[in-house]
Chain A
């Protein structure tokens, strides 16, 4: 039914139009659902193939181990350094930038301290003058991730005369109880 000039049939026309829109949306949805079918079938096929490949990989690894008495090279336990680097997201982890040696030096330094120590204090330590700020932070983060060092809270730093250093109080760290 079409609308008259004075608009007396306008609501019916609008309803008809709305139905049409609904029908068109339903048709589009149906069309999209139809597209899903092949995708789901392909996904199931790939999952099945992946499952088969994983089973083959396990069998081959077991065969290598049985023949050589050791796991294949790519499955042997990684070194501590390799483990740390592979666990971090490549290129994004802060401590990608810090060497294993630096991490161990910071750990050894913290282990010798009798009270929680901040990064600014580490920066002032004679034995760590060659370690940059970023490396210090990264090493501490790495040690926290490994559960070897803990955050104890913030620390108010003071000058030699005992007056407090103004500004934000830095975080302080110490080795975990099982590491001390």
Chain B
């Protein structure tokens, strides 16, 4: 079952960033049509939906745009067509978000934390977010992704 849209409810930012990594070329650049093909995204202009989502990730500092360059399209409809496009590349921040890990000890501590400790953790997290400027939006979005998908029964 392919995706019909590319909203936060459909796919998390972290998943999008990992797809970018999956389809990127040797220089680390991915292209909107390749992402759309990889996800088999529906709709009339799937690559535009991808570009829109990726543009927001650029704004949040997780991606950067490359220079305009020639490339050969690989999607079924336009296979073989040569076009000029600007790619999308993970920034160091984007890469750290995509592959970020918790140690086993950290995971265990969070799993065992009582409500008071979780509350204080949340307070510490929101305090950190205040000082992170634009990039805090990505943390906020990850939180909303988790909450919204549960609410919608996904």
Q: Known contacts A147-B12, A152-B18, A153-B22: does B114 contact A71 (CB below 8 Å)?
A: yes
Question: Do B22 and A168 touch (CB < 8 A)?
Answer: no
Q: Tell me, yes or no, whether B2 is within 8 Å of chain A by CB.
A: yes
Interface size on B, residues (CB 8 A): 31
Known: A94-B153, A147-B146. A154 touches B38 (CB 8 A): yes
For window 106-124 of B, CB contacts with A under 8 Å fall at: 111-116, 118
B118 touches A178 (CB 8 A): no
Cα-based distance from A154 to B18 in the complex (angstroms): 14
A150 B2 Cβ-Cβ under 8 A: no
Q: Of B53-61, B85-93, B97-105, B133-141, which stretch is located at the interface?
A: B97-105
Give chain A's interface secondary structure class. mixed
Q: Which of B24-81 contact A (CB under 8 A)?
A: 38-40
Determine the chain A residues whose CB is within 8 A of the CB of B101 once the complex forms: 177-178
* Cα distance A82–B149 in the bound complex, in angstroms: 17
| Contact (Cβ within 8 A) B153 A89 | yes
Which of chain B's residues has its CB closest to A145's CB? B149
Which residues of B have CB within 8 Å of A96?
153
Instruction: Please state if A71 and B116 are interface contacts (CB–CB under 8 Å).
Output: yes
| Closest CB in chain A relative to B33 CB, distance in Å | 13
Task: Verify B2–A169 contact, CB threshold 8 A.
Answer: yes
Taking CB atoms, residues of chain B closer than 8 Å to A87 are 150
- In the bound complex, what is the Cα–Cα distance between A87 and B18 (angstroms)? 26
Q: In whole Å, how far is B56's beta carbon from the nearest beta carbon of chain A? A: 18
User: Which residues A81-96 have CB closer than 8 A to chain B?
Assistant: 87-89, 92-96
Q: Is B15 an interface residue (CB 8 A)?
A: yes
CB distance from A177 to the nearest CB of B (A): 4
CB of B129 closer than 8 Å to a CB of A: no
Q: Mark A164-180, 1 if CB is under 8 A from B, else 0.
A: 00001111000011100
Which of B1, B18, B100 contacts A171 (CB under 8 A)? B1
Residues of A within 8 A of B153 (CB): 88-89, 92-96
Minimal Cβ-Cβ distance residue in B for A141: B154
10 contacts across the A-B interface (CB closer than 8 A): A144-B12, A147-B146, A150-B12, A150-B18, A153-B19, A168-B1, A168-B40, A169-B2, A177-B18, A177-B98
Residues of A that sit less than 8 Å from B by CB = 71, 75-77, 80, 87-89, 92-96, 141, 144-147, 150-154, 168-171, 176-178
Q: Could you list which residues of chain B lie within 8 angstroms of chain A, going by C-beta atoms?
A: 1-2, 11-12, 14-15, 18-19, 22, 38-40, 98-102, 111-116, 118, 142, 146, 149-151, 153-154
